[in-house]
Chain A
Amino acid sequence: MSLIVKDLHAGIEGTEIVKGLSLEVPKGEVHAIMGPNGSGKSTLSKVIAGHEDYVVTGGSVTLDGANLLELAVDERARAGIFLAFQYPADVPGVSNANFIRAALQARMPKGEELDAVAYYKELYARMDQLGMDRKFTARSVNEGFSGGEKKRNEILQMMMLDPKYCVLDETDSGLDIDALKVVAEGVNSMRSPERGFLIITHYQRLLDYIQPDHVHVLAGGKIVRSGGKELALELEERGYDFLKEEHLTTA
C-alpha cells in the first residue's frame, strides 16, 4: 500500500516543471522532499492534490493501486489525500467548526449524519493538543489568522480528517520555533503504520522534530538523490549548490 509517483511530467501554462519524477511513499513511512526554490516541490504537491492549473503530460500517480490522476480534487481528498497548504485560503463567513464538519460530513455515506457531540469532543481534544484557543471554532476559516495560526489550523484539519497520505507543503515556512514544535508534535502523533507522509520543505529545521525515514532531494524537476535522514543534515551543511553541480555533471 503506497502512494506511487512514476516518471511524472507536469507543468503550468506550457512550461514543464516536474520532469520525470519517481517516488514511492509506503504507508507507515515519512518521506521528506527537500530542494531549492523552483525545483518543483510545490508543483508536485499541487499535482498530487489535483489543482486544475497544473497539467500532467506524462507518468502516473497511484494511491494504493488506484489511478489518482483520473479523480477530481474532492474525490482524491475523500480517497485519502490531504494537502497541508503553504498558503491556506480564507473562507469568509464559514466558521472553522462548520468547515471541518462539512468536510467530515462529505465523507459519510448518504443519509448518515455526523454525530455532533462526538465531533465537538474530538475537535476540542485536537485543538487542545495543538494549543489552539476554543475561539478558533467560531472564527471564519483562516480569516485574519497569523501565519502560525494558519499552519496549526492545517494540522488540526489533517488530524480531524484522518487521511491515508499527508502531503505537507512547506508547513515550516514562517513558523517560529514554538509553533514549529507544536506542528511537529501534531504530525508525530499521527504517525502510524496506516499512514504515509510526504513532507516538502526547503529547510532541514523541521526534520529536527519530525524524523523522516527517507529524504529525497529535488532539483530541476526530478529526484537527484535519496537517502536516510543524514542526507538532510548534509544538505544543511553544504547547501544545495553542490547537488546542482553534481546533478549537472551526471546528467
Chain B
Amino acid sequence: MSEAVKTLDADTKSAINIDREKGDFRYPEKHKFNAGTGLTAATIDYICDVKGDKDWVREFRHRALKVFEGKPMPTHWATKDLENIDFDKIRYYLSDGAKPKRTWDEVPDDVKETFERLGIPQQERAFLAGVEAQFDSEAAYSNVKEELSKEGVIFVNSNEGLNEHEDIFRPYFGKVIPTGDNKFSALNSAVFSGGSFIYVPKGVKVKHPLQAYFRINSENFGQFERTLIICDEGAELTYMEGCTAPKFETATLHSAVVELVALKGAKIQYITVQNWSSNVFNLVTKRGLAMEDAEVRWIDCNIGSRLTMKYPGVVMKGKGARGEVISIALANSGQHQDTGAKMIHAADNTTSNVVSKSISVGEGRSTYRGQVHIPKHLKGCRNNTECDALLINSNSRTDTYPAITVKGNQHATQHEASVSQVSEEMLFYMQQRGLSEAAAMSLAVNGFVNELVREFPMEYSVELKRLIELEMEGSVG
C-alpha cells in the first residue's frame, strides 16, 4: 500500500469503512418458511405450496428443474469458478410468509431498519414513483404512488403478477427468456420468488423511476427473483434496481431472470447498480424484446460480487426498433466481472449500440463478451460497439470476446476496443497538483467512466462516483 493511503487519517478511514461496508450487516434469521438445503422436486412443491402457485406455474417449475438438471455447467467457455457453487448446500426459499406491506410502518422492525440503513425509504420520498424491497425470497414492502395506480400501472411481485394478473403477464412470462436459455435461467424458472411484475398501459409515460432493491440477509442462500416488465404501445418507464448482501463465510448465489417487453413505440430503460458483497455468485439473465419503433436500454453497473456473469440483450423484433447496453464494470482483487451484451437484429432498420467500460484493479479480472447478430435477409441495420478496458495494476486482467455476425451488405457496423492503463506520468502530474495517489487514481478512473456515469440518474451517478472512489482508495499502491 502506498504512503498516501497509509497516511489517511482515522476519520477518513472510518468514513470509508462505513461506506464500503454499507451493506455488510445482518439481522438474525426468523423465517417462518424455509425450503431447507438442497434442490429436489420436493423443494419445488414446498415453494409452490407456500406461494399458492396455480397448477400451470407448478408444472412450469417442475419442467424447469428437469432442464436445469440436464444442462451442464457452461465451463467450456466460462470460468471454472462456477464449479465452486455447491447446489446441495444452498437454501432455495426463505420467507416469513407475510405479504408485502404497503407502508414502511407495517414492515417488521429488523427488515425496515435494513432498508433504512440502505437509504431506500429516503430515496422513495425523494425521487421514486414506486418501490419494491425484497428481503431474501419475498418482497417485504411494495408500493406505488397512487396516481400511477389510477393510470392503470401495475407494480407487484411475481407471485401477485401470476396469480392476480395472469391474463396480462402469462402471455409473455418465459417467452423472452425461455427456461432452457441457459442453466441458470432454468434454475431461476424452477425456484423463482420475488422480483417485479410491471405493466404500463398504452401511452402512459411514467415520469419518475420505479425501483426494486434486492437484499440478501441469510447465509447459504440463493435469491432467485423474477422480473417481467411490459410497456404497452407508446408507454415509457425507467426502472432501477440495486442490491447488497452482507459478507458471509460461504458463497451466496443470486440468479435472476429479467424479461422486458416494449410494444410498438414503447421505451424501457432498465438501470442496475450491482454492489453485492464479494462472496456472491451473480449469474443473471436479462433480455428485452423491442417491437416496432420501440426502445430498450440497459444501463448496467457492476461493482460488487465474486463472479458476475451477465450479458443484457435486446431482440429487435419490430422495424425501427432500438437496443442499447451501457455498462460499467469494476473488478477488484478476488472479483471477476464477466459482462457484455447481446444484440439480436430481427427486423429492418433496427439500431443497436453497446458501450462497455471495464476497470480491473489489483488482481481483478474483467471480461467483455459481446454478440451482435444481423441476418442476411434484413436491410438497414446498424450496430455500434465500443469496449474500453482500463488496467490499474500490472497483475490486473482483461479479456474481450466480441462475436459479430453480420450477413448481407446493407448494414453498417463498427467496433472499437481499447485497453489502457493509468500511466505513471498521468499520476505524477495529478499528484504534483496536490492530489494524493488514491485521489488521483479515483479521479482518473472516474474520468475513464465519466461519459457513461452521466447516463445514470443524478442520485445514482453521485453514489456511483462515490463507490468508485471508495474502491480505488483501498487499492492503489
Contact = CB atoms under 8 A, between A and B. Distances in A.
Interface stretch (B242-250, B307-315, B440-448): B440-448
B423 interface: yes
Contacts of A50: 432
Q: Is the interface of B mostly helix, strand, loop or mixed?
A: helix
Given A91-B430, A93-B448, A74 B423 contact: no
Contacts of B429: 85, 88-89, 91
A244 interface: no
Contacts of B440: 74
Nearest to B437: A74
Contacts of B446: 93-94
Given A93-B450, A110-B9, A103 B435 contact: yes
Nearest to B440: A74
Given A72-B4, A74-B437, A94-B450, A99 B432 contact: no
B426 A90 contact: yes
A44 interface: no
B434 A72 contact: no
A206 interface: no
Contacts of A73: 428, 431-432
Interface residues of A, number: 32
Interface in B405-442: 423-426, 428-437, 439-440
A137 B329 CA distance: 28
Contacts of A92: 447-448
Q: Is the interface of A mostly helix, strand, loop or mixed?
A: mixed
B431 A77 contact: yes
Contact of B439 (A76, A88, A106): A106
A64 B424 CA distance: 29
Given A78-B434, A89-B425, A110-B12, A102 B447 contact: no
Contacts of B11: 110
A242 to B, nearest CB: 35
A77 B437 CA distance: 12
A99 B433 contact: yes
Contacts of B3: 72
Interface in A125-144: 140
B355 interface: no
Contact of A74 (B424, B431, B447, B449): B431
B11 to A, nearest CB: 6
Interface in A106-163: 106-107, 110, 140, 157, 161
A82 B12 CA distance: 26
A26 B403 CA distance: 64
B444 A94 contact: yes
Interface in A36-93: 49-53, 72-74, 76-78, 82-83, 85, 88-93
Contacts of A77: 431-434
Contacts of A103: 433-435
A218 to B, nearest CB: 21
Contacts of A85: 429, 432
A106 B444 contact: no
A89 B426 CA distance: 5
Contacts of B423: 89
A137 B3 CA distance: 31
B443 A83 contact: no
B451 interface: yes
A100 B430 CA distance: 10
A93 B451 contact: yes
B447 A140 contact: yes
A73 B440 CA distance: 12
A76 B444 CA distance: 21
Contacts of A78: 434
B4 A93 contact: no
A53 B440 CA distance: 18
Contact of B443 (A53, A88, A90, A99): A99
Contacts of A74: 4, 431-432, 434-437, 440
Interface of B: 3-4, 9, 11-12, 423-426, 428-437, 439-440, 443-444, 446-451
Closest 3 pairs between A and B when the two form their complex, measured CB to CB: A93-B447, A94-B447, A89-B429
Given A72-B4, A107-B434, 15 more contacts: A49-B428, A51-B428, A52-B428, A72-B431, A73-B431, A73-B432, A74-B431, A74-B432, A76-B432, A89-B423, A89-B426, A89-B430, A93-B450, A98-B443, A110-B9
15 contacts: A52-B424, A73-B428, A73-B431, A74-B431, A76-B432, A89-B430, A90-B426, A91-B430, A93-B450, A99-B443, A102-B439, A106-B439, A110-B9, A110-B11, A140-B447
Interface of A: 49-53, 72-74, 76-78, 82-83, 85, 88-94, 98-100, 102-103, 106-107, 110, 140, 157, 161
